[in-house]
Structure 1
């Protein structure tokens, strides 16, 4: 009897190569998953590096961030212009009052300051008359001033003047005999002159022992008083008026004991909340409109901040995917240049600008309702944020070929320019300190360290050269000769050498960018990865051609094999 065939013989035949079949199917599936994962990553990368127009054509995605940024530019600029006009009124009111104070309280003030001080006196009689003139003018302020001024209270809640003098404790001096006996300890004596005391016989306080001055011991006299004023010009602009407190001080400086007493006038203007305002008209309604506008700006900036923060987070996630994939497939790390491609500096710029705009808008709203008075901080925040917003427009100009050259040149030359400026800055600082020490006593542009730096910078730009040469006083031949050597060497070194090298660095970067645009930029790992499958149809063809092979491998095995693979 012939042996019966084993019903499982057909199924058992592939057992000899079952391991090979399982490995083949597993490898094929793993390869397919890897290809799909790679293609998804490539598509995500391509979409991430597209501009808004390309993204719209690729996926019909509306460029919300682009539209929001355009709207934000208009709103923020309008807000800044309106606040700038209001801030100009505030600064003008302060400056004009200070000029009025100098004409009111400084005897013989010509209208222009002498160097860093307002005026000066050279005789004892002029000194006494200048002191008494300021005191009398304070007493008659209500009949003299054209402004909205009134008397303010000092720290001790008293209205009036405070006169203080600083002098050496005691001493005697005989210049003809070249003898001096003085105690270097400094004493400060003060006297308060109220309105009632000033209204009495002026000779009573003028002849007091306090005003018997020994000028060889006198260091300085300070006359301090407080005035209050209301800025009514804001009402014309349909805004609430500001109330000001002016802390004024007149200083007679005799520290040099050179026969010339310098008179300084300092005034610190502080804005305070008015205690009682009763203004009829449409001002309140106008303020409400401005507050609504500022609130809308804050909402727009918050939306922009959220969208840009979200984009940065998604970019960092995509960067992590690419780094892991590159390390897994090519067994090496991605270069730093490619890693920084995922950090969009424009988004960071927008986030900083949005934060400054939000904080500045909140301060502006508080100033508008008179809860805050810090105009300077608010103007710095709003001004800087608007600057960053307009700088961000360069990103959109970079989509055009002609403007892109400028942007790429700036990016390429920036590291070299910074290194070059660090080296040139050392030479610049050396000239700054040298000019301050040697030429400071003989030239007003070299008296202070900051003015020396500003003067040298203007010389680099070719400004005011002859005036700088001509103003050197020829009292010392040695210093005069040194000034010529100093100025000629600085101008020759910085204009003809350093400035030319600076321009050459930028020109070299520009030529490099033009050559790359003509012959192609050097491809990085990221760019090579994106070029591996440049067209979507080609990828689809490769994927569709690969799938039948996988299906054939599945059909070659039994269902048990498929279960083992899964």
Structure 2
């Protein structure tokens, strides 16, 4: 069947009707002409891109822009995900490295069963950790450095938490405990000449009241480490655990040359192109939303003037295209995410999680919007148009 090309009754935004040219002979004809013009404008506004193309040959620039945008921001998200995966892998491997460096006789997979049972073993493990901390430069194959606060090294903190007062006598089955907790700490500097055993001479563990022993230290490559000897159960088994609080800081002075540098600059340029594309999409969709709102006000004014009726909210909302709103939100999120990604790539910021949220949400919204636009709803199907 032939496709109809009748375009009668369609408002042409490039050739609007001029009242002066027609010069209607009566007020009734003038009103009828205005009503007809408004009807054509509304009919044209609610056409989908294919119908507008069939009616006036108007190319669907916004749709084509969205298809291009969905391709490039998907590539951007996948690229950032691979880069973020490298960071996650580095954190995991770094944690494993510290377990092998600071936990005595540790083997992979032992954390669930890694524990000590004798008081002498607790002291031996603490001494071992302090010794390994002082010998870190000579032992590790990684690039690790002690943290400095000005010109002074940040000390290792050896802290024990225990009940203020308490006595437990299994023979008489009596327990007397003051539940208030106290903390006692010892600072150990990495450049101290003393041996660990000498440092611990004046640091006695109160095993009868002991809740936990925590050894906390900061080491650059990336993270804050805490080794905990957990004795809260008082079961005779003190579980040992190593926790990490990772903090990635921006580089204060960095220089990269060669292929890696060129690749980094290309990625930054690609992110800039995505930002410009999303900004263009944002402007086009915002313009369309504004046009719809202005047309809504014109329709409301017409209804009040000629029929004296108020337009219900359901009819008003028909003039606000939800797809455009979704694309505007998507563009905003993607622009913010692209800026963060450029900052991360330039070693200025390290907000990987925040950037992932913006880019991931923006990509999801643009996929939803484009799929909806391209035919998941009836009014967006590109069928035949009859004027």
Indicate the TM-score class for this superposition, using the shorter chain for normalisation. 0.7 to 0.9
Which residue pairs with 2:122 in the alignment? 127
Secondary structure in structure 2 of the residue aligned to 1:333: coil
Q: 282, 291, 294: which is aligned to 2:271? A: 294
Residue of structure 1 aligned with 2:66, choices 36, 48, 69: 69
Matches within 5 A, 1:311-330: 311-330=288-307
2:90 is aligned with 1:93: yes
Alignment match, 1:221: 213
How far has the Cα of 1:261 moved from its partner?
A: 2.4
Q: Deviations over 1:430-466 (max 9, x none)?
A: xxxxxxxxxxxxxxxxxxxxxxxxxxxxxxxxxxxxx
Displacement, 1:146? 2.9
TM-score normalised by the chain length of structure 2: 0.84
* Residues 273-292 of structure 1: pairs in structure 2 closer than 5 A: 273-292=250-269
| 5+ residue gaps, structure 1 | 1-26, 230-244, 409-533, 537-566
With over 3 angstroms needed to count, the CA separation of the structure-2 counterparts of 1:167 and 1:256, relative to structure 1, is same
The worse-fitting range, judged by mean Cα deviation, of 290-299 and 310-319 is 290-299
Q: Number of aligned pairs?
A: 361
Greater gyration radius: 1
Q: How many angstroms apart in 2 are the aligned matches of 1:113 and 1:40?
A: 79
Give the match for residue 413 of structure 1. none
CA RMSD in angstroms, aligned pairs only? 2.8
CA 1:387/1:89 → structure 2, altered by over 3 Å: closer, same or farther?
same
Change (3 A) 1:535 1:159: closer
Is 2:26 aligned against 1:29?
Answer: yes
Deviations 1:169-216 (A, max 9, x none): 33433221233444433221111222343x54443124x131x22212
1:60 matched to which residue of 2?
A: 57
**SS where residue 271 of structure 1 aligns?**
coil
**Partner residue in 2 for 1:443:** none
Matches within 5 A, 1:115-514: 119-153=114-148, 157-197=152-192, 199-206=193-200, 208-210=201-203, 212-229=204-221, 245-398=222-375, 403-404=376-377
Q: Which has the higher contact order (CA 8 A, sep 6+)?
A: 2
Greater helix percent: which structure? 1
Note the C-alpha offset of 1:28. 6.9
TM-score relative to the length of structure 1: 0.59
Give the secondary structure class of the aligned counterpart of 2:171: helix
CA contact 1:154–1:226 (8 Å) conserved in 2: no
Q: Which has the higher strand share?
A: 2
- The alpha-carbon deviation at position 397 of structure 1 amounts to 2.9
Matched residue SS, 2:248:
strand
Q: Deviations over 1:333-377 (max 9, x none)?
A: 333332221121111110111111111111111111111111111
Q: Aligned pair in 2 of structure 1 residues 306, 175: CA closer, same or farther (>3 Å)?
A: same
For 1:93 and 1:407, locate their aligned partners in 2 and report how far apart those are by CA, in whole Å.
Answer: 47
